[in-house]
Structure 1
Amino acid sequence: MTRLIFFCGHAGAGKTTLAKRLIRPLIARSGEAFCLLDKDTLYGAYSAAVMGALTGNPNDRDSPLYLETLREPEYAGLLETARENLRLGVNVLVVGPLSRELREGLLFDRAWLGIDDDVGVHVVWVDLDEAQAKARIVSRGNPNDAYKLEHWDEYRLRRFLPPAAAFPGLVRFDNTAPAPEDDEQLLQTLLAHTR
């Protein structure tokens, strides 16, 4: 059985940091191979080249043009790369906002994911309140966040908190001030087999 683990959440929530913090303990405890697929790492340079050619702004990751043109192909490639690793017997951590896919229930739809029944799926939603997330975005100084910050009132409308009742399989992780015991509890959840 292989594992497909999603780390989802809004910008600035700490998805990538959390996934990187947990991957070594996951490998050590399971004795299995894991890879980390971060959407920004896989498609950052490509998206910069395309948006630079289309708009002159290589850092645009939030405009309507980006969302309509590149978002879907990026996620399609990300998921196909995950499936390819799973077919090779490698567990996968996928990092990306994936808020639309979660809201539509697609991350729990095995047919949409295109995975076999023997793949265990966990979906982790990394929570951080809006003010702290915005402060983290500002402090990291990533030029890809410029559009988001300049249009914050528009962007914030895309932020949502998935209700637990609507997503019973969702694992919530409060990233406000995580303690070692919070990481430990999440690790135990992720190492448990699920379908």
Structure 2
Amino acid sequence: MPILSNPPRLIVFAGHAGTGKSTLAKKALPLLIEKTGQDFCFLDKDTVYGAFSSHVMQLCTNNPNDRDSPFYLENLRDWEYSGLLDLARENLSLGINVLLVGPFSREIQAGKVFSAEQLGIPRETHIQIAWIDLIEEEAKRRMQRRGDPRDQWKLEHWDQYATRRIDPPNHPALYRFDNLHFDPAQFEALVQELAN
């Protein structure tokens, strides 16, 4: 990947489970490359830490698919995000754009993800967030339909999980996309905003 002369970009596709953020990020990536004329390092939290976290949770709880229990949230969740941001930081420090995919709900709610200083990434990094919206009932249906074992805890403890579904704060760097019925024109507009 070439080193960039412009400030590096950090684009985050965030949202709750089942909203389609990974699918949309992969659909957006070639369009972003085309519109910006720049390459991106693509980092999806589930890809980067999926196998590792499964192994750790198997050792600790005998449930390799647990991604939402109190044990996971207290002992592994923040370390996954820390490692993911370390990878992003290393690329951004080399001038390489990064597209990150993950829920990032805590980081967005706290405002951390909007601040290069708080993320520990180069100060000049251009940060933009695509928040993928989907109503709770449809997100649950899609999770049931996809049959991913990592959703098991959420589905079995839905009332408890649903309390963590935040509404993100308004911020100039955050763009919301309603993924209930995919609208190509609205998606094109989202990608254009992220490419600016």
Which residue in 1 is equivalent to 2:182? 178
Q: 1:51-90, aligned counterparts within 5 Å?
A: 51-90=57-96
Unpaired stretches in structure 1, ≥5 consecutive residues: none
1:187 aligned residue (186, 191, 196): 191
Matching of residues 14-163 of structure 1 within 5 Å: 14-163=20-169
The count of residues paired between Structure 1 and Structure 2 equals: 190
TM-score w.r.t. the length of structure 1 is 0.94
- The Cα RMSD (Å) is 1.1
* C-alpha deviation, 1:64, in angstroms: 0.4
1:4 matches 2:13: no
Give distance in 2, aligned partners of 1:170 and 1:92.
Answer: 16
Deviation string for 1:67-115 (max 9, x for gaps)? 0011011000000101111122221111111101111111112211112
Greater displacement, 87-96 / 42-51 = 87-96
How many Å separate the matches in 2 of 1:111 and 1:2? 14
| Farther-moved stretch of structure 1 (25-34 vs 75-84) | 25-34
Instruction: Percent identity, please.
Output: 54
Distance across 2 between alignment mates of 1:30 and 1:168 = 20
Q: CA deviation at 1:190?
A: 0.7
Q: C-alpha separation between the residues in 2 aligned to 1:95 and 1:116?
A: 19
Which amino acid is 1:2 matched to?
P
Deviation at residue 163 of structure 1 after TM alignment: 4.3
Contact 2:66 2:72 (8 Å CA) reproduced: yes
- Identify unmatched segments of 5+ residues in structure 2: 1-6
Question: SS of 1:22's equivalent?
Answer: helix
Change (3 A) 1:76 1:184: same
Q: Distance in 1 between matches of 2:101 and 2:116?
A: 18
Partner of 1:158: helix, strand, or coil? coil
Question: 1:32-82, CA deviations, whole angstroms, 9 ceiling, x for partnerless residues?
Answer: 111211000000000000000001100000000000011011000000101
Counterparts of 1:119 and 1:169, CA distance in 2: 12
